[in-house]
Every structure is written in structure tokens, then in C-alpha cells.
Structure 1
Amino acid sequence: MVTRLCTTQNITTVNGQFPGPTITACNGDKLVIRVTNRAAYNVTLHWHGVRQMRTPWADGPEYVTQCPIMPGGTYTYRFTIEKQEGTMWWHAHSKWLRATVYGALIILPKPGSSYPFRKPKIDVPLVLGEWWNTNIVDELMQAMLTGTAPNISDAYTINGQPGDLYDCSSQGTMKIAVRSGDKVLLRVINAALNQELFFTVANHTMTVVGADAAYNKPFTTSVIMVGPGQTTNVLLMADQPPARYYMAARAYSSSQNVPFGNTTTTAILEYKTARGQTSSPVLPQFPPFNDTATVTQFTSQLKSIQSLDKVPTNVDENLFFIIGLGSVNCTPGPTCQGPNNTRFAASMNNVSFVLPSETSLQQASYQNISGIFTTDFPPSPPLEFNYTGNVSQELWQPTPGTKLYKLKFGSVVQIVLQDTTILSAENHPIHLHGYHFFVVGQGFGNFNPETDTAKFNLIDPPVRDTMGVPVGGWAVIRFVANNPGVWLFHCHIDTHFSWGLAMSFLVENGKGNSQSIEPPPADLPQC
């Protein structure tokens, strides 16, 4: 039972904690995490940002790499952290339970190794989230039943607390105590279901040193934007007059037609010599909620300092995916209350992804079970059109399907991700499971291979696992398909994922055991 915003309700948690426990490990460690489901719902956990070589069974999304853990069941996740440091996180990957089932996963340098910057005195994860005063599974079921968008959340949160600006919330507001001159590492994680968020600290600048568990060339900024699924590490110097300052997050809403919660969640950066002050903390300045220019300026400054991973130049698979919303016709009535008596839908290349229910995609692939999926996901749109123009309503309706795209082990993959203006253009945070990728280019309007390819950054592009495709624009990513298995590729806005904005890659085994999927564990849940 948890009380927020003057309301008490029963929520799903891990180990009775909200947010769940922070897991701290070192680069090179093997993690063994035993999960027993005592909740009322089926559940899986996803270890976000972990590149799990040969162990897709540990990835976690329900009906993709595993069947869910049923109430009363137990499953043990086993994986090794390989050549990764920084901020990851874990969360439920089933039925929107991510609203309350999430926590930080911190990967420190190996013993004897160090950060590429001076070690901070204070190291704090800040997990941003959303809160509903109602049962989140009921919210999902209502939205899927009616075919409409879900209700917006009642609050945003920092480490599970809404903060001083909401009713009945100031008592639990998170505080970080510092002394003048302290260097603070803030590990900002966006665990919100459906909202991209600006984050800033009043009167302080931040130095961005990492994103999605990869270091970057440091740069300073007064505000960052994190989409659902993304993490950003920032260093902050306690160099302001001793006082109390708000750390705060509020919505970045890129779509013109989507309602959002126009409120602000806060935590407090408190200088120890200012304790006992009765004045309110200093409020930060935020950009306008739809300030895409600020978002673009921020993301364009991210440059990689990775020395082990080189950008592949010889592309084997050149894919072009259009992504976005849409709607499908249905019989008018209580289950068809979307725009013009339709149901909301979403798709990649006009395929609206449908999860199986009899078994997981990974199990079906490994055991050669037929009839669960096909491998004919289109490598390019079935029809070319002006993706960011005035799109005819005849092109609004995607086709449902469980289609995978097969990749040979070791192939170099390039994907152009093109947003569309069907219903509304929007910044989509697209997440690839099992891999990091290079973001070699991005821009607005329709991607032009003749002119835009020449502008690719093949020297120091950012390394990410979740990329915000610009509103009404495009992004290009590259990766080497050296992790065999079935890997989900989807929008991390959970509403969009539920509507079908996803697909999966089937990466074939390579040569020998070191390039092949390990056998499934004995306790793998069955459907």
C-alpha cells in the first residue's frame, strides 16, 4: 500500500520498494537475479541496456524472449556485464507494470580502473517516472478496450516522489545534501511510461558525461531531455551560494495533438550550511514544453569517446523503416472510440506488431515451432509517399502481423528511421534490445539518401540503445549483428508499443559455440 497525492492504493513492487532496489555491479561481473512472482499479474523483467551475448533468455520482454512468470512462479536471470560502464536500469516488460516496477542498474569501472573524469564525491541515481491514482493495468485495459488513448498520468515523480508542487507530497520530497565544492554525479533515468521529460537544476549547469551506459565527450548544458528508456549521466559542481535548489523535470511534448500532464516534479539539492532555511527552494527555468530546438541542440552535442568500438563502414543490410501512428476501422460502439470511429494503431513499415500468446518468439525460433511468426518483415515501406507531408487518410491503416526480419551473424546493419505525419508527427524514443548502436545521422523532413548520407558522422557518433527520432524527421543508426537471438525493436512510449509500434530481429547463429545461442535454462517459464 503506497500513498501519493493524498490517495492510497495497492501497487506492484519489487521487494516491497518503490522504486525497486538499485543494483550496483562492476564491468565484467556476472549477475544472477532470482525473481519470484507474488504479484496478481504475469510479469517479466528486462535489464535495459545490457548487451547479453548468447543469452537472449535473460532479456525479458514477455512473449519475445520468454513467456511471462506466472503468479507463484520463479525464474532466474543470468547475464554478464561485458565492456560496459555507466547507468542502466531494469523494469517490468509486461502490461504497463513498468509504472511501478523499475529501478537503477549501476555499472562501475572494474576494480583498479577509473572513470574518464575525476571521481565524484556524491553518486546518486534519479529515476524519473509517472504516477496514476488508479490501477495501471485497469488503465491499460480501458485504453485497449475502447481503442482510445489512455488517461494522462496524475503526476511525474523523481525516485517515486512527486515533490513539493503537488498536493500531499512535500513530506516525501527527495533531498540531496551537499557541501560547497562537492562534485555530484546525477544518473538520470527516464522510467516514465509515456512522456519525454526535460530535466534541470536551478542556478546550476550540468556537464553531460554519459548516455545509455556509454561515455561521451563532456559538454555543459542547463537542461537535458530524456525520453522513456534513456539514461543520461551529468556532473554537477556545488558552486552556488549555499541555499536550497530544486532539481526538476517536466514534459517535452513534441506532438501538436496529444494531451500531456503539464506539471512539474521536484527534488531538492540542499547545501548543508543552508539547512533550516524556511524559504522555498529556488525554482529552475524550463524551455517551453514543445521546444524542439532545445532538444535538437542537446542531442547534437552528444559525441562518443568510445575507443573499442569503431563505426562500421561497409553496410550489409540497408533498411528503411517508417514509424508512426495510425488507426484501423472497426464497428462503431464501445470498443471503437478512437478518431472517426476507429481504433488507434501504430506501425513500422505499415506492419502493426502483434505479440504471440502460445509461446515466445525466441522459444519458437529455437525449437522450430511453426505458425508463431514469419520472417518477411519488409526492409522498406511497401509504398513510398511524402512521409512528413499531408498524408492521405487512405495510408493511415496498418496491417497487423507478427513479422521478423532475419539477419546473418556479423552483418553490418544500417536503419533509416523515418517519422511520419500520419495523425501527428512525434518524437519517438526507439529502443533496440540486446545491442548498442551508433547514431550516425539525424535531421528533419524526409530523409534524402543523396544529400543526407554525405553528412553522416562516422568519426565520433553517439553510442546509444534508445534513440529519439526527431519529430517530423529521421535518424540513422548502425550496429553489427553479433548477438544471436530474437531482439525486440520498439518505441519506448508504452502506449505506442501497445498499439504495435515495434518489430523484432532474428539474428542467426554464427560459427561455433561462442557465436551461438546458449540452450534455454531449465526454469524458463512456459506459457
Structure 2
Amino acid sequence: MKNQQVCPPSPRPLLDSTFPDFPSSSASQIIFINDWYHDTTDTIVNSLLSSQGYNSSFVAPSPQSGLVNGAAIYNCRFAEPGLTGEQKAQRDMPELRFPPDARVRLRFVNAGAHPVNWVSVDEHELYIIEADNTPTLPVPVHRISVNVAHRYSGVLLTSGRRIGDSFYLRAQINTACFGAGFPDLDPQTPLIFRIADEGHRLAKTLPRSRDWNDPTTGNCTDLDETVVVQHAPPQAEQISVFNSSRIGPLTTTDEAGLSDGISFLEWTLNNITYENFAYTPLLHQIVRGEDPNTGRIALITAWNVETVDIVIQNLNGPEHPFHLHGKPFWIMARSQGSVGPETIASLDLNTYNPLLRDTLGLPSGEWVLIGLVADVPGVHAFHCHIVFHQAQGLFGALMIQPDVIRKLQDPGGELPGALALLCAQGNPNVIDPGRRGRLRKRLFDLPHLDLLHRHSKTSTTTSPQPTHTVVHAQQHDKLHDATIRSGVGECS
């Protein structure tokens, strides 16, 4: 059995001036990685949000296959009874061809729903030159750990290879990141790279290349974050906290979790599980001058153009790939355990060479401090990029300059007509339209963990007083006028 999809066109080659210490690429190719489930996302999510769970569990499920550029091989002996199909083999898979003596830029994109993938090319080091659109110093590695939503460029050198040579690209799912079983999953998806010039007709022989010996399971960690040289502001004007945890059962028989008072799992940020009121988005509320309901979303507010540090703590859960819309951030410090306000103020931050990106993996029981310049007004989503965790509420927002956002109003004080019409036909009180009705006890009525930081459940927009911990401050020059951007502003 095989699934194929169309991939985007390859990007333009890198220019010599972009990376002066590394030769420009002479060819480029997108390597699109994702995971494949035999049930639809709607089926899985609706089950996770019910008291029955998905396969009697509330943890993110494991896939049936990993895909590379839309293709994979599934062992049909694991297929459900009654299903028929032709068993495919490696020779049925598409292959990629590159010229000899070339520098090939491989752009790895993990567009999956859940797992971390290790990508490698047999017997060839990959030179990492970009991470999440950030140029990096060329770093040779055997494998690249590509988390959900991460993008990397790795340069493959085909020097010394002859026409007809072949070797495998391997995308290996890190199964140690799973909380559920994976009985029918082959974690590795190989794709053949063959050396050929345009017009060559070559037999589809299988490579005899050897994989690297580096491990492909273990901690769900990202690329070493010291591979770039940049500079970040030495101090922030405010420091805020997103604490990630959970409430409820992991399985339908988890008595300890069921004692929390709800019958399915909910992920939380600052003790709040996100509720998607899709027909009255947060952006619309702010434009109308309303106060956001901070019992429905964990919210950090930057009132001015300022430098903001955010401490993210994974207090109780698996590894989460956290993603921020609208603004890339510097990764300035991370460690195991947890930190409090008195500790944050004295942290030794890496301001010389922090990696700039928009997604990071945070293992269980660890914290990370990220820094950014809040200069793009808007409501920017912050969430775990495991889609099942998003659906279970692991979602917050960074709101930048709400006073500027309100200027989107027309002269009559209303939303612009086209924007208002997007949501005019829906019921503003409906949570997650299209999903099953969910009976839940509100999280702020339940006993909570003693977390470092709690958001106020009162207004955050009527007064320019932040609801998050301000640890230290330093003046920062305003950068430039910015346009409104929204990560929590579209109707479903």
C-alpha cells in the first residue's frame, strides 16, 4: 500500500554571498516528512475528546507509517481483515537523482502531526546551513533530528561519486517519543538517491550502502543550539512564563487521572485549557475593545514595542514541540527542573550565539528561556505542534500592542465589514464547531498544581498592567512600524 502527494517546487539555490565560508549549492530538493494515520484526524480528535478515548487512551496516537515526499511502504499483513491491496516494495518507491560532483541543498520539512524524525544519508555527512530560515555555520552531522514543524537545510556533497552510484536517504521515526504503542509501524522510511545526469537511463537497482551507527531512538531533543553566531538583547523589559501541564486521565482506566473530575485528558498552559470559540476569535474581541476571557486561553501581553523573555516549563507531560506564530525567538537558556522568579533574574543567558527559530522541542521536566522583540502588533498563537495536543487544549497566545490592534476598527467602532462577515453566520458561544459536544468542568473550578505562574482571570486589556511576572527591565529602542498579524484570528 502506498500514498503519494504532490510536493512544492524546489527553492532557488543559495548564493555564494549568503554563506561565504561554504560553497553555494548547485542543486536543491525539498524532503517533505510527515506521518500517516489510517484514521482521519477528525476521528482521532473526536475520540480523544470523548470519555471513550482513542483505542481506550487519551495520549497522542502513533502513526501507521512515516512518509517521505508523500510515499511510504506499509506491510499489508498488518491491514485490517477484509482490506485488499497490492503489496509495494522499495523498487516501487520514487527515487531522487542528483549529478556527480555537486553540492545538493536538501531542505528537510517535518509537516507531521506527532513524531520526531532522524534524517540521514548513508555514508555521507550532511552540512547543516539553515534552521527554521536562520543561516547557521556549516556543521557536519551524521543525522539531523527534525521535530514537528522544524525546517533544516543540509548540504549533501556528491563529489567522488560516479554515474549509477546509489545510496539511501533514511527518515527514522524516534519511537521513544511515543506514549502509545506502534504495533504495525516500520519506523524507517528509506528513499533511494541515485547519481545521474539529465537524460541518463539507469536500472532501478537497490543500493548496498550502509547506515550510520548513530542511535535513532532516545531523548526527543533538537539540534545543538550553539551552531549559529548572532546577537540578542542582553536584558528584557519583562519576563513572562508559560507552564505546561495536564489534567485528567491518560487512559480510560486511569483512576488517579479520573479523580481530577473530568473523563478525558486536557493539556494546560498556566492551568488553562484552550477553548476555541471559533466564531468570536480573540483578535476580533480585541479589535472591538472587549476584554479577553483569560479563563479560556493562557495569554501574555506586551503593551509596547519591547524586549520580552518567556520561560516555558514542561512540568508534567512528554516532549512538546512548542511553536510561536508571528515572531521568531532566540533560545537563550535551558536546563532540567523548574525555575522561579528569583532564579530567572540571575540566569546566565546566552546572548552571543543563540539560535533564532520559531519552534523548539521541550522534554519533560525541563525549562527553556526564549527572547524576542515584540514589534509586530497582533495576537500570535503559541502552541504545541503535536496536533492532538493542540486539540486537547495546549494552546495560548502572545498579544502584542493591543492598543494598536484596536485601530483596526472602522470609524463607527465596528470591525471592518469583510472581517466581520467571516464570523457573522456562526454562534459565538459554540466551542469547536463540528466537534462532539464536550461536557467539562471548568479548569479554574478544579484543584490545581502549585505552579510558578498563574494568569489573572480578570481583564488584561482595560489597564496597561501585565498579568505576568515582570522580573527586570531595560530600555530598548523601537525598531520599526509593523503591520498587524494574527495567529488566533481566523474563523473555522
The residue type equivalent to 2:279 in the other structure is: E
Q: Map 1:188-207 to 2 at 5 A.
A: 188-207=108-127
Deviation for aligned residue 1:192: 0.7
Quick one: distance in 2 between partners of 1:133 and 1:454? 46
Q: What is the aligned counterpart of 2:189 among 265, 280, 291?
A: 265
Partner Cα distance (1:259, 1:214) in 2: 35
Alignment of 1:37-56 (within 5 A): none
SS at match of 1:138: helix
Cα distance in 1, alignment partners of residues 33 and 321 from structure 2: 15
Aligned with 2:30 (options 121, 125, 135):
125
Give 1:319's aligned residue: 240
Check if 1:417 corresponds to 2:312.
yes
1:175 aligns with 2:95: yes
Structure 2 CA distance for partners of 1:508 and 1:451, relative to 1, 3 Å: closer
Conservation of the 8 A alpha-carbon contact between 1:489 and 1:504: yes
The answer to whether residue 300 in structure 2 is matched with residue 408 in structure 1 is no
Confirm or deny that 1:429 pairs with 2:416: no
- Residue type of the partner of 2:248? S
1:253/1:442 CA distance change after superposition, 3 Å: farther
For residues 348 and 107 of structure 1, the distance between their equivalents in structure 2, rounded to whole angstroms, comes to 39
Q: Are the structure 2 counterparts of residues 20 and 224 from structure 1 closer, same or farther at C-alpha, using a change threshold of 3 Å?
A: closer
Name 2:458's counterpart in structure 1.
none
Q: Which residue of 2 aligns with 1:65?
A: none
Answer whether contact 1:356 1:402 (CA < 8 A) is retained: no
CA separation in 1, counterparts of 2:160 and 2:318? Answer: 37
Between the aligned partners of 2:151 and 2:278, the Cα distance in structure 1 is 31
Aligned partner of residue 292 in structure 1, secondary structure? coil
- The answer as to whether partners of 2:65 and 2:73 remain within 8 angstroms in 1 is no
1:236 is displaced (CA, Å) by 1.0
In the alignment, what sits opposite 2:47? Answer: 142
Which letter maps to 1:316? E
Aligned ranges for residues 346-495 of structure 1 at < 5 Å?
346-369=267-290, 373-374=292-293, 376=294, 401-420=296-315, 422=316, 425-447=317-339, 450=343, 454-495=347-388
In structure 2, distance between residues paired with 1:321 and 1:451: 13
Question: Is 2:198 aligned against 1:278?
Answer: no
Indicate conservation of the 8 Å contact 1:181/1:239, yes or no.
Answer: yes
Residue type at the aligned position of 2:325: H
1:303 Cα shift? 2.0
Q: 1:255 to 1:350 in 2, by over 3 A?
A: farther
Q: CA deviation at 1:358?
A: 2.7
Distance 1:406 1:239, change over 3 A: same
SS at match of 2:248: strand
The Cα shift of 1:163 comes to 5.0
- In structure 2, the CA distance between the partners of 1:481 and 1:169, relative to structure 1 (3 Å rule), is farther
Fraction of identical pairs, as percent: 19
Shifted more, 452-461 versus 464-473: the winner is: 452-461
* Alpha-carbon distance, 1:165 to partner: 8.1
- Decide whether the 8 Å contact of 2:332 with 2:354 is kept in 1: yes
Distance between the aligned counterparts of 1:363 and 1:283, measured in 2?
55
Instruction: Report matched runs for 1:65-214 at 5 Å.
Output: 106=11, 114=18, 116=20, 117-145=22-50, 146-147=52-53, 148-149=58-59, 151-162=61-72, 167-168=87-88, 170=90, 173-214=93-134
Looking at structure 2, the residues matched to 407 and 328 of structure 1 have their Cα atoms a distance apart, in angstroms, of 35
Give the TM-score taking structure 2 as reference length: 0.70
Following superposition, the deviation at residue 491 of structure 1 comes to 0.5
Distance, in Å, in 2 between the alignment partners of 1:220 and 1:523 is 50
CA distance in structure 2 between the partners assigned to 1:218 and 1:521 by the alignment: 47
Q: Is the Cα contact below 8 Å between 1:203 and 1:240 reproduced in 2?
A: no
From the superposition, tell whether residues 234 and 521 of structure 1 become closer, same or farther in structure 2 (CA, over 3 Å).
farther
> For residues 5 and 204 of structure 2, what CA distance do their matches in structure 1 show?
29
Report SS of the residue matched to 1:405: strand
Match of 2:254 in 1: 339
Please give the alpha-carbon distance, in whole angstroms, between the structure 2 residues aligned to 1:268 and 1:521: 52
What letter is aligned with 1:18?
A: Q
Q: How does 1:193-272 map to 2 (within 5 A)?
A: 193-239=113-159, 241-242=161-162, 243-255=165-177, 257-260=179-182, 261-272=185-196
Report the Cα offset of residue 227 of structure 1: 1.0
- Larger Rg: 1 or 2? 2
TM-score (structure 1 length as normaliser): 0.65
Q: 2-side partners of 1:319 and 1:183: how far apart? A: 43
Does the CA contact (< 8 Å) of 1:322 and 1:349 recur in 2? yes
Which whole-Å CA distance do the structure 2 matches of 1:438 and 1:137 have between them? 34
Counterpart Cα distance in 2 of 1:487 and 1:286: 41
Q: Distance in 2 between the 1:440 and 1:246 partners?
A: 36
- Name the CA shift for 1:447/1:154 in 2 (closer, same or farther; >3 Å): same
Residue 392 of structure 2, aligned match among 499, 506, 509: 499
Deviations 1:163-191 (A, max 9, x none): 59884254552322123211000100001
Contact 1:130–1:193 (CA under 8 A) maintained in structure 2: yes
Secondary structure at the aligned position of 1:406 is classed as strand
Q: Distance in 2 between matches of 1:326 and 1:115?
A: 47
Unpaired runs of 5+ in structure 1? Answer: 6-16, 25-105, 330-335, 377-399
- After TM superposition, the structure 1 stretch with the greater mean CA deviation from structure 2, 411-420 or 336-345, is 336-345
User: Separation in 1 of the partners of 2:117 and 2:63?
Assistant: 13
Q: C-alpha separation between the residues in 2 aligned to 1:157 and 1:489?
A: 26
In structure 2, what is the Cα distance between the partners aligned to 1:124 and 1:450?
Answer: 45
Residues 383, 390 of structure 2: 8 Å contact kept: yes
Q: CA deviation at 1:193?
A: 0.3
**Shift of residue 109, structure 1, vs aligned partner:** 7.4
What code does the residue aligned with 1:444 have?
Q
Q: How far apart are residue 234 of structure 1 and its match?
A: 0.8
- Are 1:18 and 2:5 an aligned pair? yes
Deviations 1:365-410 (CA, angstroms, capped at 9, x unpaired)? 112356xx32x5xxxxxxxxxxxxxxxxxxxxxxx72343221131
Distance 1:518 1:200 in 2: 51
- Residue type of the partner of 2:155? L
- What runs of 5+ residues in structure 2 fail to find an aligned partner? 77-86, 427-492
**What SS does the aligned partner of 1:354 have?**
coil
Aligned partner of 1:175: which letter?
A: E
Question: Hey, what does 1:292 align to over in structure 2?
Answer: 219
The count of aligned residue pairs is 388
The whole-number CA distance in structure 2 between the counterparts of 1:135 and 1:477 is 34
Residue 504 of structure 1: how far off its partner (Å)? 1.0
Whether the aligned pair in 2 keeps the contact of 1:413 and 1:478 (CA below 8 Å) is: yes
Q: Which has the higher strand share?
A: 1
